[in-house]
Chains A and B, each alone.
Chain A
């Protein structure tokens, strides 16, 4: 039954109307078929430029909406005060992990980000400077990632289980499948916001806050039981890292490994 007929049942329509409604149904069917034929012909003749441009625009709009949504959702709601208490916070985190886990992506392709370093060498009274790639420090980034930075060091055994990357906001979550199977809650989460929609709230009832330095920038370090959050900015982007069941040493190493991603390196 069509929307029109559904509506008709709830409306007070005269006999004349109802008779014409039948015509309306036939007309709708006929005009729809005409539209479908028209579309088919346009596609066959390659005349879909205007429509393609329209949908390209539409997709940009969707991406913006999604970016904004995930940015807010993954930050504000994740740590919101609306469910106070450590257990509940953990439950939310777990819920996110479950909801997004398994998803995310079949990260099939990566591109290599080279880390260059300045090496000096004094030999036979000659001081030589060389700018060269540190192959050990160079790292792979999923091609889907469009954030300006990415963590170069991932704890051993951790794999990407979620990746969301849109203009202005990107998030990647790594989990250790073995630990995750046992406890369901061991992960390292990296977020980068390059727009101003980010709001984060922490339930400070059982949280400890301190300061530390991440890549020379002052960062807030928040500990809530076995979860650690690091938040800092380099003046252009807002970085957030959250880990659970990971040592402080690994968490700091993970945070300090955040490198700029130069798109020109994309292969």
Chain B
């Protein structure tokens, strides 16, 4: 039987912490997650806002769900170094938001149709090894070029390579078929490589 220590309620400067945190069995874990939550909740808010800028209810759910995952992965998070922790939390919040988007898409509450949708042909994803193995140098150049992509192209790459979603999941979020999602991601990456190449040539 688990009992909650109400001391947690008064913690974090009198802030009412999410119930999920209070449900943690170990005092140590509870204190740890509370600290993380009070310190980084603005960051969770920022990520949620990027996904749901006009829907405060979804934002609230996203932050709450992020806290639930924070509790769920508490042990893992403890092993993350302090300098990597913010990025880890952003990733965690993004995953939660993506899950919500998928759910919304399933409920057909949103239709995130591709704004500049076009004929999608299935582009082969595999390329020659020498073309795709990115050295740190190349990755830095591509990173600099990333901002030159459209909003949608940036999100496609984020979904695939930060959030590690498969094409089916990307398709669910963006309202695309598997093939179209794969094509769109591939095109975004090609475009990124082109921009990086051109920038390098211009230097």
Judge whether A104 is part of the interface by a CB distance below 8 angstroms. Answer: yes
The answer to whether B4 touches A54 (Cβ under 8 A) is no
The answer to whether A26 touches B139 (Cβ under 8 A) is yes
13 more A-B residue pairs beyond the given contacts A3-B164, A21-B161, A95-B3, with a C-beta to C-beta distance below 8 A:
A1-B80, A3-B88, A14-B125, A16-B125, A24-B161, A35-B43, A39-B43, A54-B56, A59-B15, A66-B19, A95-B1, A104-B7, A164-B6
Q: At the interface, is chain B mostly helix, strand, loop or mixed?
A: helix
Judge whether A11 is part of the interface by a CB distance below 8 angstroms. Answer: yes
Q: At the interface, is chain A mostly helix, strand, loop or mixed?
A: helix
Known: A20-B157, A28-B162, A59-B15. Contact between A2 and B88, CB under 8 A?
A: yes
Contact for B140 among A7, A26, A70, A73, CB less than 8 A: A26
Judge whether A180 is part of the interface by a CB distance below 8 angstroms. Answer: no
Interface size on B (CB < 8 Å)?
A: 57
Contact for B16 among A15, A20, A51, A59, CB less than 8 A: A59
Contact for B86 among A32, A48, A55, CB less than 8 A: A32
The answer to whether B63 touches A20 (Cβ under 8 A) is no
Contact for B162 among A27, A92, A164, CB less than 8 A: A27
CA distance A3 to B126 in the complex (A): 25
Min distance, Cβ B123 to any Cβ of chain A, angstroms: 11
Query: Which among B89-97, B101-109, B172-180 touches the partner chain?
Result: B89-97
Min distance, Cβ B63 to any Cβ of chain A, angstroms: 6
- Could you pull out 17 A-B pairs where Cβ atoms are within 8 angstroms? A1-B80, A3-B92, A4-B161, A4-B163, A21-B164, A22-B139, A24-B162, A26-B143, A27-B146, A38-B46, A59-B15, A63-B16, A66-B9, A95-B3, A96-B3, A104-B7, A104-B10
CA distance A162 to B164 in the complex (A): 46
Contact for B134 among A22, A28, A39, A96, CB less than 8 A: A22
